[in-house]
Structure 1
Amino acid sequence: MGHTHREALVAEGGVTFVNVGAVSRQFQGDPSARWALLERHRGLWNVQFRRVPYDIEGAARWAEAHAPQGAQEAAWLRQGRLPQ
């Protein structure tokens, strides 16, 4: 899965889909970068969702200087969700 900006673990038709979430544009108000650790034990997969801090202010300043609608993007990065 991709481009949903939300963590997800879905099993359908014998296939497991994992979406780690987003490095930016989160919806939950937590601006951490997301990733997932997949480990296989005895033929079964285990998925652990992880969140880690990153240089949010640096990313926000870059967005303000370079991104279309940079001020809005920077606010989104800083808040971890769409600005109200």
Structure 2
Amino acid sequence: MSEYPRDEFDDVPEDGARQGAHRGHNPNARAGSRGKFLVILVTGVLALVLGAVAFVNAPRTAQEALALPAAAVAVSPD
């Protein structure tokens, strides 16, 4: 046997009906997890799509406009 001093856990009967929280079966432990996962997944996909659309449709910055040749920026006087 071990040489550790006795504590409160030594007084628990070995054949008792109680089980530790990590050992007990809880059928509701995963309830709603699939729905929550789908909400998070859809939100993430929508955020990526919104970011991609914003990136593609974003106006050019002033530095990019200044870097273009003058002929590409000039408007014809028609």
Going by fraction, where is helix more abundant, 1 or 2? 2
* Same-fold call, TM cutoff 0.5: no
Q: Where on the TM-score scale, by shorter chain, does this alignment land: which range?
A: under 0.3
> Over alpha carbons, which structure has the higher Rg?
2
With CA pairs under 8 Å and 6+ residues apart, which has the higher RCO, 1 or 2?
1
